[in-house]
Structure 1
Amino acid sequence: MDCKSFDIYASSYIDDYLTPEEKQVFEQHLDECPNCKLEYENFKLMINSVNEIEEIPLPKDFSMELGKKLRQEAPLKKKFASFRWKLVGCIAAGLLITVISGAMLSNLSFNMKSTEAPRAADAAMDSYGGIVNNEMATALDIGNDGMRQAKEEAMNFAMEDQEAEFSPAEPTLTEDTTMQTSRKIIQRGRITVEVENFDDMHQEVLNLVEASNGFVQHSEIYYYFQNREKPEESLKNANMELRVPSNDFTRIFESIKALGVVMEENTSGEDITESYMDIDNQVKNLKIQEERLRDILQKADRVEDLLQIENELNRIRTQINYLTTTLRGYDGLVSMATIDLNIRQVKDEGLSLLSLNDDLWSRAKNNFIHSINNIMKMLENGFVGLFGMLPPLMILAVIGGPIGYFGYKKWKRKR
């Protein structure tokens, strides 16, 4: 037993509701804990004091008078409470209807324009696809056995070709060598260089990229320190994204490192051979299906069959174009490596430090004006925000006003 359960056992101990084991544990705790023992003595003294108070008999007509007053107060309270909740419900319902109506009217034109066209297009496509599929399925199941047989042959041929392509044959030494030399690797490098002569470094990088038949995909040059009175002390920074042939990636990367002081460098290579081969195999299988469907299209003589085959050809051709574009993108990333170059100009060690008094007053004045402008913007934003909060505050006042008034009246009547 601990002090937290003292209040639970104290009253039961005094009323003799505890078992002998519980009494023993409680008495042992009282002997060990002086605080609980003192609280128990005070509790016992309070009970004895209450028991010594004489009972005062109630008046003879107490029950009748109490019932009479309760009967008089009950209808009034019930009527008042009903009226109060009806009033609050009416106000809340009116505000809710107003807000919902405004939102519906403001979004009505946008919803009509944005939903009617896609729904109509979806419904038309679903209806057209369902009619064509149902009619084509019926035609194929009932009357065109030659079409069904040709389609099954096309699917079987594609599956056999795929199984043969992915069959676990033992690779020879020539195949292993081919796989190693034809792996698809996307090379990327990042380097940060500090130089004293920015213009010379920038021009050397451009010459290296141009000589390797590469190109600059992105270039950004800016001053991160500018001294208008002494332009020769201004410092530049450049972020460049270079695309160079993968075969010359290592040579160009090392040449750039030799042009300045390297502060950070990182190279990485991402192997996409498996993804590339998977997509390439999908393109081959789709082309086989396309050839078979074109053969079937020449043999078809029903309009329903022609429509279904043309739809399937369009779907396959779209998928082939998408996958082919993905492969071309992979080829571009593999053939041309990417170098993220950051050129940072630093001061020459022979340069002298700037004087603290140079342009001190103009900089202080500009900072002072900037602070005043920030304060004005803050006041403007606060004024605009206050007006933006007026509608919800008015709604809260309309709803909370009557509720607060009725609550105050009820509290005052109780007092």
Structure 2
Amino acid sequence: MNCNEFNEKISLYIDNQLNDMQKKEFEQHLNSCDKCKNDYKQMVQILEFARDCEQEELPSNYKATLREKLEECQRNNVKKKRINWKKYSAIAAGLLVIVTSVSLLSSSDMKQYDEAENKSSYEYGTMDSNANQAADEAPKSIAPNTKKFEISPNSVATNDSIQEKYGLEKRRKVIENANLSLEVDNFDKTTSDIVIYVEKSGGFIESSNEQIRTTSRGKTKYGDMVIRIPSDQFRHTLTYIKTLGQINGSESATNDITGSYMDVDSEVKNLKIQEERLREVLKKAEKVEDILKIEDELKRIRTEINQKIGRLKNWDDLVDLSTIYINIEQRQYSDEYIKPENDNMWSKAKRGFVQNINKIIVALQNIIIVVISNLPTIIVIMILILIIYLIYKKFRK
């Protein structure tokens, strides 16, 4: 038996609750360990002192007093656990500000995203979505008795062979267009800035016009511009133009013509091969009738080649230089009617007052719109806060 076991069994030994074997082990350790012997003597002295003490009776109102003290402690605990509404109100206000800010930012981004999604195509001319079928093959024979002049169908290259032989360009052919409606403070300065930026970017102004509109508030300028910009500067140019004023409308479109371009390019190469074969046949032809037929076929093939090459050049131009249509209108302020002929201190103060009132009204309208539109989110957040508080309260108990 060790000292710890001895200390645990002191009370049992004194109360005579140990069996014979346990008593024997207890007594052996008691006789061999001085420290435990002193502990045992102290325990015996304490018990003897407690027996000699007189017992005092409890006060008559002990139970009532104890109950009152317990109830008072319980009331104090309830007061401590009351909800700190100031703290939670501050948290809720902070969350409301965060949600409002995020909603304003996301609504602005979504507006630009929707404008980009609802795009329409603005192109210079109508382009075929699919290339025309290849021209009819040249006659297999010029005349029944001239079989030596036949042109084999195998001599006409397929798309794959043309691509392998001539190394058809694999870069995708994408035509990009955009249409912007811009409201600005200074029409002349805006158009000048656009011209400078476009020229620095390697583009040019294809067309522009300027007109003056007369209203009850005075004269204002408006006009249109069509700019051609290198395709790699298309997005940067759009972003720059949008910073020059207020965007009232924005549309953009992309048209991938890679498949059609490859088809037409292959057709051109096939037609050139046919043209070359026919020229060889023409050199060997002897009959006038055969010569005339071959020359007519050559003329038809050359015309078709020129048409298809013109289409490819037009596509290359549209791919290399993107097109942006811009409608620009100079802004007319709603408070211009208060401007007198002789502008003085009081008129300036009045105009500033009107402008500030208008800004406050617009700001309040925006706040009400944001709060109402985000009301479901706010309710969900408040419910989550309540659930978190109840869980916290439960675990704290």
**With structure 1 as the length reference, what TM-score do the two structures score?**
0.44
- Name the one with the larger helix percent: 1
State the structure with more CA Rg: 2
Relative to the length of structure 2, the TM-score reads 0.46
